[in-house]
């Protein structure tokens, strides 16, 4: 069973990744980073490089843009804290490869049985206007449904705004 699972939500550049990394360091466990991003352009390459420099060399990096449940199953360990950054990029990758329903179901099935400390990072996309395009609406809807399902499974849920964490669910709360 998962020793501890938390979900950290926030907008772009809200500080959610830094918070996740700090919580992982504070866990005192071996550090692993599961990155779902792919460097499709120069700007994304720069974002990835920024994240890697900030983390430093004491993190083990696993790059997995689609098969997230499999990666977590393979790398789980009671002595490890795994940060998954980020779920909305993973969602985009899965929608593009038309495997979203399968991959989401696998994640939701495997997550409660994992060992160690799992920190999931995701963009909160449901605070703005309803997008005009069908794919954009599907993305926002699916992210919102995923966040609700994960929040029910995680012991801790935090919303990050302007670098400040706001506890939405603390250990022991329903």
Walk me through the domains of the chain, giving residue ranges and CATH numbers. Answer: 4-169 (3.40.50.300)
Q: What is the mean pLDDT of residues 140-152?
A: 97
pLDDT, residue 174, reads 65
Question: Is position 51 annotated as part of the catalytic site?
Answer: yes
Provide the mean pLDDT of the chain: 92
Pick the catalytic residue: 51, 58, 75, 117? 51
Give 34's strand partners. 62, 84
Q: Above 90 in pLDDT, residue 57? A: no
Instruction: State pLDDT tens for residues 20-43.
Output: 999 999 999 999 999 998 877 888
Choose among 172, 165, 174, 171: nearest CA to 9.
165
Q: List phi, psi (to 5°) of 60.
A: -85, 130
| Whole-angstrom distance, CA of residue 171 vs CA of residue 174 | 9
Q: What is the mean pLDDT of residues 134-145?
A: 94
Q: Above 90 in pLDDT, residue 56? A: no
pLDDT, residue 153, reads 96
pLDDT, residue 88, reads 96
| Whole-angstrom distance, CA of residue 30 vs CA of residue 57 | 12
pLDDT, residue 156, reads 97
Q: Is 49 exposed, middle or buried (0-12, 13-18, 19+ CB in 10 A)?
A: exposed
Choose among 96, 72, 87, 173: nearest CA to 124.
87
pTM recorded for the entire structure:
0.93
């Amino acid at each position: 069973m998962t020793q501890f699972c938390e979900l950290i939500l926030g907008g772009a550049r809200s500080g959610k990744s830094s918070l996740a990394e700090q919580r992982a360091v504070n866990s005192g466990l071996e550090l692993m980073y599961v990155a779902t991003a792919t460097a499709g352009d120069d700007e994304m390459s720069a974002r990835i490089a920024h994240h890697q420099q900030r983390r430093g060399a004491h993190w083990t990096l696993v790059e997995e843009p689609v098969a997230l449940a499999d990666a977590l199953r393979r790398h789980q360990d009671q002595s490890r804290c795994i940060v998954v950054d980020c779920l909305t990029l993973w969602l985009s990758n899965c929608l593009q490869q038309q495997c979203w329903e399968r991959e989401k179901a696998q994640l939701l099935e495997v997550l409660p049985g994992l060992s160690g400390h799992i920190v999931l990072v995701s963009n909160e996309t449901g605070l703005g206007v309803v997008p005009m395009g069908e794919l954009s609406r599907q993305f926002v809807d699916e992210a919102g449904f995923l966040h609700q399902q994960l929040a029910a499974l995680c012991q801790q849920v935090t919303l990050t705004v302007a670098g400040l964490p706001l506890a939405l669910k603390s250990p022991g709360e329903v």
